[in-house]
Amino acid sequence: MEYRLLGRTGLEVSPLCLGTMMFGDWGNQDVTDSTRIIHHALDAGINFVDTADVYSAGGSEEIVGKALAGRRDDVVLATKFFMPMGEGPNRGGGSRKWIMQAVENSLRRLGTDYIDLYQVHRPSALMDVEETLGALTDLVRQGKVRYIGSSSYSGSQIVEAQIASREGHLARFVTEQPPYSILVRGIEEDILPTARRHGMGILTYSPLAGGWLSGKWRKESAPTPTSAARPGARFDMTSTANQRKLQVVDALADVADDAGMSLIELAIAFVINHPAVSSAIIGPRTMEQLDSQLPAAGVALSEHILDRIDALVAPGVTMNPDDNSYGANELATSARRR
């Protein structure tokens, strides 16, 4: 597996990053099997692992920590904070109080004394970014965190954070983690070029668009997923946007067939073939899913294939706005003039 620089950090990472959201109560509850999957990914050349404190209420971090015992120094380990981790106030967010507590909790669960990439899981419209950056800077100086990153930031929020870091002499976000897939291309218009101008590495998530590009849901048989983890608007198969997505998925399957690859390989290769993308997070729940995704690391897409994809989903277009994970606060009714 060929490795890439993560932005301007000097870190070399695999083009596929193992996402561990599905290890624990949210997905694969078999710790032994989850550990086996993690080891298989590492043996295949993946050296980048991403998790978050909120995944299975810390359970994912615990599984990752146990799986990396004896192999920690070979891995670029990333985790995230921000989402609520319990009832009551001050159990989440970007405040100094919570960050200092959250990092200690993650270090304990991960069984390590440092985190390579510590990311803010979401931006906050209420929190001063300088407070968040100030606390994270202290963690970097203490050696508990090597680098810091953001997730699901808009282009303007990326710029705001970079300016705050420069003017306040604070550690800066060196990565951004946005959603990106053939069906969710909104970041191509602003977020990718903005992050690239600031030398940030891009660690994308959901290259299979929440399963839409796995071949699981097709036009001829498209039941509405019932999982509580899947927002209804994103998987309501009766909506106009999702009906159009089903048509596009069928057409993309033909593109993949003509190219001699699976739809999964086409979808993941599309993401990692973008010059601004450092690594794409894959989130297998089973060994079979992992094995179906690993070959994408070595797939190069021709101009002809990319042109066929662009003809189905134009650059910069997200087919269903509900698939975006940024801009929600700005588009809420209370933030608009109505």
Q: Please tell me the distance from the alpha carbon of residue 73 to that of residue 94, in angstroms, as a whole number.
A: 28
Take residue 117 and report the two structure tokens written for it. Answer: 């990439």
Residue entry with tokens 């669960």: 109
C-alpha R_g of the chain: 19
Take residue 96 and report the two structure tokens written for it. Answer: 């100094």
Distances in Å between the Cα of 95 and the Cα atoms of 35, 101, 254, 323, 327 are 33, 10, 49, 28, 21
HSE value, Cβ hemisphere, 13 Å, CA-based, for 292? 17
Write phi, then psi, for 13 (nearest 5 degrees): -130, 155
For residue 227, give the 3-state DSSP assignment.
Answer: coil
For residue 74, give the 3-state DSSP assignment.
Answer: helix
CA dihedral 193, 197, 203, 207 (to 10 degrees): 10
Which among 3, 55, 180, 326 is annotated as catalytic? Answer: 55
Q: Indicate the burial class of 225 (C-beta count within 10 angstroms; 0-12, 13-18, 19 or more).
A: middle
Active site residue 205: no
Residue entry with tokens 């990718």: 192
- Biggest CA–CA distance in the chain, Å, is 57
What type of residue sits at position 292? Answer: S
Take residue 119 and report the two structure tokens written for it. Answer: 């990311």
Take residue 313 and report the two structure tokens written for it. Answer: 């989903």
Q: Please tell me the distance from the alpha carbon of residue 66 to that of residue 64, in angstroms, as a whole number.
A: 5
| Strand bridging mode 201-204 / 4-5 | unpaired
Report, as residue numbers or ranges, the catalytic residues: 55
